[in-house]
């Protein structure tokens, strides 16, 4: 028997839980994090149930009337479901990871406040965090443009509050930056949605194919690309990313990576699937922009001494790997792009959270002041290396399989000189990725232990509640790296229809 | 019969058997007991490799990711794999026995044994894989495990694990490397080559539609992409092999890989890692059959490049070794030299058509030299490890008195060096005679170039001298060691004694095998004999005069400093990289950042707020203008959008 409104539950349960925490904050207190984690665990289970049915060939859809023009529809198919599931797993893991992290963060920022106020901030964090998770799932399952737009914009508000309440250096300025860039990006999507309505009289994604061949389709695509490229931090629209991702609390930085990456899914859902032929004109420009961004992001990452900034700059480059795949417009490259997106958010959640652990334990962000930490933090070091391995694409990790699918797809479209240029830039980018991730590993964890760190007895691996969620993410990455077939089957059931 | 069980046991047993010690990393008691389980895991691999050697032949495949991606478990039990599998497993097993003693009391046994066994399993995967994707999995496993092992003593707190004299600077660069740098240098160089190799494999899949080395139609693949395509594709693929095998200019990591435990050095240099590059080259060439593809444009250039990279690396390594005073680094340089000759022999197959028992003699020479070198070099490394333990010094030292007190090591060194240098009538002599014949062919027949044979002879003579130098300065004419600790080490002695004894078996095999008859035939040629005698003379001279004071000062230092190639690795390349990233950060990104965050956004807000204030001034003409403006804007949008009014 199917659970009623199962898709709606995956969005509504976190929202209701957020409201519950907000209203009972005095009573729930420090249990708020646990409640949030359990709510997300529940939605993960729901998504697994949906996943089994979708894998068996079913397409699950739910429709709710929402005003005269917009139907609030939800759709779980082979494309939206795996993305929603992976995102929800990451959100769940990060919720448990942040239980201890946020205690310390609140203590650092609001240490002078009384216990009640501190508790209030602590619970606020989990309220907002749940809204972020709900919005992600909303984007994945949404069936019309306005709802996608609403969820994209809805994300901006909790992120704004989370950064301004719990961020690092210049957190208020950075929060405004996040808000503004988010709104601007979303506005382009809104313009495009209105234009779509003017052409086909509907916001429904399922009706977008009616735009195929329409001269306006190119303009609509351009507007959506512009809006989403801001989200994806494509060069030169990336300026918000190093600030926002670098200065947000590290568990939120992991969610911000999803926020930026999810645009790849939106591109596939609202542009590539319905308007495949109209997009061919964008193929080369998108790949050029993506490749420039990959190299740029990697070079930027290499110049960083701040461990959080390094992860943030790395996000700029890594997202564009997916974009290369989408730009090539072959079935394999698109599937590879989406696969890589999932791999990247897994790897980046691990890497960012590990950076968070290092900062949490040592209170240091500058890698020049670190070194030899593996001696005191072997589990954390292993997690960082695992994150590096996923991002670099070492075999048996999802990053490797993702790159394989992505680039074989790209080479399938471009053999000759274009393929060669893509290959050379891809090689350069991957080498640079290896350079900055492993170089950082060496700076943070290897070599002699600095005397200050050696004498500090507080420096050790963090509580298991912080590392186990990340270990689970690493295991998932290895599982889908070793055996990507179920995931690829799901993606192929939708993208393969092109 | 389910053959997959044998492959599963072959690859997985070493890894699975080392998991318990990895998990028990906090327990001193268990980490002292569990290494035996890890060694047993490798022993199972030895048994499996022997089973495969004697009973299995041909291709074995099982599905993995399906036909759409071309990725399956495909193993090839051909001549090269069957022999190399046994060589790898046996060497790893002997080294593991040695390691039981050598690593006793180490502060990270869990890390060591897990990485060591992963290293062995990865190499076995490389050896037997026919599928390029699967091979690459093993290939990267080698890289990851080597990084873990080379940087094993990551605390950098013991000078004995360093390479180079601490604090010695030449120009702006300190020519001294701790283990953590050694690990980083290895992984960065290896990844530098692996990435293009990965892209080459992806391109092969797209272009050929098959990833199985033995099934790819190489001729049609090369013909389809033309000369430029063939050269680029093969060079990308070869980048992985050259970096892994430490060929010039990617050799630096190998020298500082000596910061790892000696057991790691032994395995790295004999049957895994550096050997992997040369082995994969031989394996791929075996199926490309370049001697039949002279019609393919661009392929000759590829093989010419490999030939000269190999020969120049051979000479470079031997020359550098002649100036070195660190035990393991000297051996590392000699390994690089030997591996270079393996590449050169394999590359010469393009012009050398001579076949014995259906196999190309040049490839056989390359492979048999690899096998001989593996056992001899592993023996020498294990001896070096024992000497470092005994003298607590990584530098060459030890006179005859000391040699007499450490007889097993002394004898093993004599055997290993003499069997390796190509002195008649010992093992390497016959193999190198085959190599002489191949290089002589390049001069006398196609492509009529004399340089290969000259480089080979020069390398052989220098190589003999450095091997003798190793023997002499450790056991005969070296300085008296400051410390002597000769007790114990039973398993260490057992390890290198077993290892060196295999050289006799190889000698025997050369004489009885059908396919190695060509080596014996070449050994009776006058040219080979002259080179062999030359090698013997060079060996004896260097044994007698291991250090020449005039030579030591200028060229010796130059060679000891690896002709200042570290500058390329540690100074020029990183400086360029960091300079570019600095420019991107300081001038590119700061500019863009400032433009958006301090000009565009505040400017936009300023303009909007100014506009809003303007509305509030109360002049009617301003309001009329605004209304008219909106009407105009609406009309323009309506006409563009085609919205009917």
The yes-or-no verdict on residue B116 having pLDDT over 90 is yes
Each residue's pLDDT tens digit, B328-360: 999 999 999 999 999 999 999 999 989 888 899
Classify A60 as helix, strand or coil: strand
- The list of chain A residues with pLDDT below 50 reads none
Please tell me whether residues B156 and B205 are part of one structural domain: yes
The predicted pLDDT at position B645 comes to 45
Pairing of strands B71-77, B58-66: antiparallel
Closest Cα of chain A to B108: distance in Å? 10
Question: b/e for B397-425, b at 16 or more Cβ within 10 A?
Answer: bbbeebbeebebbbbbbebbbbbbbbbbe
Is some CB atom of chain A closer than 8 A to the CB atom of B35?
Answer: no
B80 vs B346: CA distance, rounded Å: 13
Please tell me whether residues B511 and B569 are part of one structural domain: no
Cα angle A151, A156, A158; round to 5:
100
Q: Chain A partners of B597 at a C-beta cutoff of 8 Å? A: 177, 239
Q: How many CB pairs under 8 A join A and B?
A: 127
Mean pLDDT of B96-118: 92
Is some CB atom of chain A closer than 8 A to the CB atom of B158?
Answer: no
Please tell me whether residues B557 and B575 are part of one structural domain: no
Asked whether residue B603 is domain-assigned, the answer is no
ipTM value > 0.90: no
Please tell me whether residues B243 and B336 are part of one structural domain: yes
Long-range contacts of B112-115 (CB under 8 A, 24+ apart): B112/B149, B112/B152, B112/B261, B113/B18, B113/B21, B113/B22, B113/B34, B113/B35, B113/B38, B114/B18, B114/B19, B114/B21, B114/B22, B114/B38, B115/B145, B115/B148, B115/B149, B115/B152
Six-digit token string for A195: 């234009």
Six-digit token string for A30: 């420090």
Q: Chain B partners of A198 at a C-beta cutoff of 8 Å? A: 641-643
Is some CB atom of chain A closer than 8 A to the CB atom of B481?
Answer: no
Are A434 and B585 inside 8 Å of each other by CB? no
Asked whether residue B78 is domain-assigned, the answer is yes
Nearest residue in B to A184, CA atom: B601
**What are the two backbone dihedrals, phi and then psi, of residue A202, each rounded to the nearest 5 degrees?**
-155, 155
Nearest residue in B to A424, CA atom: B196
Please tell me whether residues B429 and B371 are part of one structural domain: yes
DSSP state of B174: E
Asked whether residue A316 is domain-assigned, the answer is yes
Each residue's pLDDT tens digit, B570-617: 999 889 988 998 888 888 888 888 887 778 777 887 888 887 777 777
Closest Cα of chain A to B228: distance in Å? 10
Closest Cα of chain B to A222: distance in Å? 15
Nearest residue in A to B225, CA atom: A416
Asked whether residue B55 is domain-assigned, the answer is yes
Q: Chain A partners of B149 at a C-beta cutoff of 8 Å? A: none
Q: Chain B partners of A435 at a C-beta cutoff of 8 Å? A: 188, 191, 577
Is some CB atom of chain A closer than 8 A to the CB atom of B240?
Answer: no
Domain range for residue A344?
Answer: 6-495
The predicted pLDDT at position B461 comes to 96
The predicted pLDDT at position B200 comes to 93
Asked whether residue B171 is domain-assigned, the answer is yes
Find, among A161, A82, A136, the residue nearest to A263 by Cα: A136
Domain count, chain A: 1
Is some CB atom of chain A closer than 8 A to the CB atom of B205?
Answer: yes
Asked if residues B342 and B309 have their Cβ atoms less than 8 Å apart, the reply is: no
Asked whether residue B605 is domain-assigned, the answer is no
Asked if residues A345 and A85 have their Cβ atoms less than 8 Å apart, the reply is: no
In angstroms, the Cα distances linking A247 to A26, A91, A470, B254, B602 are: 29, 19, 21, 40, 21
Asked whether residue A1 is domain-assigned, the answer is no
Each residue's pLDDT tens digit, A148-165: 999 999 899 999 999 999
Asked whether residue A354 is domain-assigned, the answer is yes
Mean pLDDT across chain B: 91
Please tell me whether residues B520 and B639 are part of one structural domain: no
Are B155 and A177 inside 8 Å of each other by CB? no
The predicted pLDDT at position B1 comes to 56
Find, among B18, B77, B81, the residue nearest to B44 by Cα: B18
Tokens 């006398």 — which residue? B444
Please tell me whether residues B401 and B518 are part of one structural domain: yes
The predicted pLDDT at position A227 comes to 94
Closest Cα of chain A to B4: distance in Å? 18
Q: Chain A partners of B582 at a C-beta cutoff of 8 Å? A: 303
Tokens 């301003």 — which residue? B622
Please tell me whether residues B206 and B293 are part of one structural domain: yes
Are B581 and A423 inside 8 Å of each other by CB? no
The predicted pLDDT at position B593 comes to 81
Are A446 and B581 inside 8 Å of each other by CB? no
Domain count, chain B: 3
Are B206 and A415 inside 8 Å of each other by CB? yes
Six-digit token string for A95: 């919720």
DSSP state of B28: H
Closest Cα of chain B to A107: distance in Å? 31
Please tell me whether residues B208 and B221 are part of one structural domain: yes
The predicted pLDDT at position A30 comes to 86
Query: H helices within A111-249, ranges in order?
Result: 115-141, 145-166, 171-200, 215-231, 240-247
DSSP state of B565: T
Are A375 and B155 inside 8 Å of each other by CB? yes
B426 vs B418: CA distance, rounded Å: 7
Percent of chain B's residues with pLDDT above 90: 69
Mean pLDDT of B52-56: 95
Each residue's pLDDT tens digit, A463-478: 898 999 999 999 999 9
Six-digit token string for B573: 């390349």
Each residue's pLDDT tens digit, B364-403: 999 999 999 999 999 999 999 999 999 999 999 989 999 9
Pairing of strands A60-66, B169-170: unpaired
Tokens 């291709």 — which residue? B59
Which of A180, A438, A485 is the closest to B66 by Cβ?
A485
Each residue's pLDDT tens digit, B175-220: 999 988 898 899 889 989 998 999 999 999 989 999 999 999 999 9
Closest Cα of chain B to A368: distance in Å? 15
Q: Chain B partners of A394 at a C-beta cutoff of 8 Å? A: 140, 143-144
DSSP state of B350: T
Question: A292: which residues sit within 8 A by CB, 6+ positions away?
Answer: A235
Question: b/e for B474-492, b at 16 or more Cβ within 10 A?
Answer: bbbbbeebeeeeeeebeeb
Please tell me whether residues B581 and B503 are part of one structural domain: no
Please tell me whether residues B314 and B251 are part of one structural domain: yes
Domain range for residue B288?
Answer: 4-564
The predicted pLDDT at position B636 comes to 86
Please tell me whether residues B531 and B640 are part of one structural domain: no
The residues facing A79 across adjacent strands are none
């Amino acid at each position: 028997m199917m659970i009623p409104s199962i898709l709606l539950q995956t969005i509504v349960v976190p929202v209701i839980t957020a409201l519950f925490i907000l209203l009972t904050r005095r009573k729930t207190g420090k249990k708020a994090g646990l409640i949030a984690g359990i709510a997300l665990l529940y939605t993960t289970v729901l998504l697994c149930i949906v996943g089994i049915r979708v894998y068996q060939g079913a397409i699950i859809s739910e429709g709710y009337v929402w005003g005269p023009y917009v139907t609030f529809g939800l759709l779980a198919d082979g494309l939206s479901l795996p993305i929603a599931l992976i995102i929800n797993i990451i959100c769940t893991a990060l919720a448990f990871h942040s239980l201890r992290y946020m205690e310390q963060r609140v203590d650092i920022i609001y240490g002078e406040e009384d216990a009640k106020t501190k508790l209030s901030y602590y619970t606020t964090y989990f309220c907002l965090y749940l809204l972020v998770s709900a919005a992600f799932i909303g984007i994945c399952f949404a069936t019309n443009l306005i709802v996608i737009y609403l969820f994209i914009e809805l994300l901006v508000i909790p992120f704004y509050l989370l950064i301004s309440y719990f961020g690092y250096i210049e957190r208020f300025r950075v929060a405004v930056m996040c808000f503004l860039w988010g709104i601007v990006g979303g506005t382009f999507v809104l313009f495009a949605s209105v234009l779509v309505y003017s052409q086909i009289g509907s916001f429904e994604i399922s009706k977008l194919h009616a735009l195929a061949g329409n001269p306006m389709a190119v303009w609509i695509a351009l507007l959506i690309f512009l809006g989403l490229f801001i989200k994806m931090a494509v060069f030169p629209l990336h300026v918000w990313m190093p600030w926002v991702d670098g200065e947000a609390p590290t568990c939120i930085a992991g969610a911000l990576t999803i926020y930026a990456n999810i645009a790849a899914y939106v591109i596939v859902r609202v542009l590539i699937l319905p308007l495949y032929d109209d997009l061919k004109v964008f193929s080369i420009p998108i790949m050029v922009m993506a490749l420039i961004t990959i190299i740029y992001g990697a070079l930027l990452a290499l110049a960083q001494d701040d461990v959080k900034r390094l992860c943030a700059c790395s996000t700029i480059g890594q997202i564009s790997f997916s974009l290369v795949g989408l730009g090539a417009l072959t079935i394999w490259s698109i599937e590879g792009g989406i696969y890589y997106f999932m791999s990247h958010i897994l790897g980046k959640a691990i890497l960012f959270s590990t950076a968070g652990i290092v900062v949490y334990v040592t209170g240091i962000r500058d890698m020049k002041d670190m070194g030899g930490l593996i001696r005191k933090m072997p589990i954390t070091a292993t997690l960082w290396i695992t994150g590096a391995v996923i991002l670099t694409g070492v075999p048996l990790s999802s990053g490797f399989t993702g790159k394989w699918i992505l680039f074989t797809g790209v080479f399938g479209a471009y053999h000759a000189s274009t393929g060669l240029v893509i290959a050379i830039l891809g090689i350069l980018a991957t080498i640079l990725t290896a350079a900055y991730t492993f170089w950082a590993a060496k700076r943070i964890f290897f070599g002699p232990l600095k005397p200050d760190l050696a004498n500090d007895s507080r420096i050790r691996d963090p509580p298991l509640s912080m590392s186990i969620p990340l270990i689970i993410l690493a295991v998932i990455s290895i599982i889908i790296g070793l055996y990507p077939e179920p995931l690829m089957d799901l993606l192929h059931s939708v993208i393969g229809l092109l | 019969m389910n053959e997959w069980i044998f492959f599963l046991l072959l690859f997985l047993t070493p890894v699975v058997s080392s998991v318990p010690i990895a998990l028990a990393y906090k327990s001193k008691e268990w980490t002292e007991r569990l290494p035996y389980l890890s060694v047993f895991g490798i022993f199972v691999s030895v048994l499996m490799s022997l089973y495969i050697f004697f009973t299995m032949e041909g291709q074995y495949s099982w599905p993995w990711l399906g036909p759409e991606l071309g990725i399956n478990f495909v193993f090839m039990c051909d001549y090269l794999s069957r022999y190399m599998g046994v060589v790898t497993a046996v060497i790893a097993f002997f080294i593991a026995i040695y390691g039981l003693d050598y690593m006793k009391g180490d502060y990270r046994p869990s890390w060591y044994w897990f990485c060591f066994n992963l290293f062995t399993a990865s190499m076995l995967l490389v050896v037997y894989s026919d599928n390029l994707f699967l091979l690459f999995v093993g290939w990267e496993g080698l890289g990851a495990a080597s990084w873990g092992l080379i940087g094993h003593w990551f605390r950098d707190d013991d000078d004995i694990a360093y390479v180079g004299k601490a604090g010695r600077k030449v120009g702006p660069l300190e020519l001294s490397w701790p283990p953590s740098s050694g690990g980083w240098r290895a992984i960065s160089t290896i990844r530098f080559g692996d990435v293009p190799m990965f892209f080459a494999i992806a391109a092969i899949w797209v272009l050929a539609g098959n990833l199985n080395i033995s099934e790819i139609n190489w001729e049609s693949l090369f013909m389809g992409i033309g000369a430029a395509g063939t050269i680029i594709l093969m060079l990308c693929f070869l980048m992985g092999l050259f970096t892994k095998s430490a060929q010039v200019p990617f050799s630096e990591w190998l020298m500082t890989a000596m910061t790892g435990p000696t057991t790691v050095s032994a395995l790295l240099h004999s049957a895994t890692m550096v050997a992997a590059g040369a082995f994969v080259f031989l394996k791929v060439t075996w199926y490309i059959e370049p001697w039949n593809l002279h019609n393919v444009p661009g392929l000759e250039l590829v093989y010419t490049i490999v030939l000269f990279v190999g020969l120049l690396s051979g000479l470079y390594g031997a020359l550098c070794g002649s100036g070195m005073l660190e035990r393991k680094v000297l051996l590392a340089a000699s390994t690089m030299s030997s591996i270079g000759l393996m590449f050169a022999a394999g590359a010469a197959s393009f012009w050398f058509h001579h076949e014995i028992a259906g196999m190309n003699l040049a490839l056989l020479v390359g492979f048999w030299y690899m096998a001989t070198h593996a056992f001899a070099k592993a023996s020498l490394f294990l001896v070096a490890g024992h000497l470092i333990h005994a003298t607590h010094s990584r530098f060459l030292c030890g006179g005859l008195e000391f040699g007499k007190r450490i007889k097993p090591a002394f004898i093993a060194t004599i055997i290993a060096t003499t069997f390796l240098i190509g002195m008649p009538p010992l093992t390497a002599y016959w193999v190198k005679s085959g190599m002489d014949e191949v290089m002589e062919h390049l001069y006398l027949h196609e492509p009529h170039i004399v340089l290969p044979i000259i480089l080979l002879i020069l390398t052989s003579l220098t190589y003999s001298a450095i091997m003798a130098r190793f023997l002499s300065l450790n056991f005969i004419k070296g300085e008296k060691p400051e410390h002597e600790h000769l007790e114990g080490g039973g398993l260490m002695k057992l390890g290198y004694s077993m290892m060196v004894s295999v050289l006799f078996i190889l000698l025997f095999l050369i004489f009885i095998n059908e396919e190695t008859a060509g080596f014996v035939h070449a050994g009776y040629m006058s040219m080979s004999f002259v080179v062999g005698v030359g090698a013997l003379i060079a060996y004896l001279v260097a044994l007698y005069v291991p250090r020449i004071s005039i030579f030591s000062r200028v060229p010796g230092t130059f060679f000891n400093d690896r002709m200042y190639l570290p500058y390329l690795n540690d100074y020029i390349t990183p400086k360029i990289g960091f300079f570019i990233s600095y420019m991107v950060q300081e001038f590119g990104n700061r500019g863009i950042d400032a433009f958006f965050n301090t000009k565009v956004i505040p400017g936009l807000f300023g303009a909007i707020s100014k506009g809003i204030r303007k509305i509030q001034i109360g002049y009617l003409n301003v309001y009329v203008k605004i209304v008219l403006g909106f009407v105009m804007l609406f009309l323009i949008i309506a006409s563009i959008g085609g919205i009917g009014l």
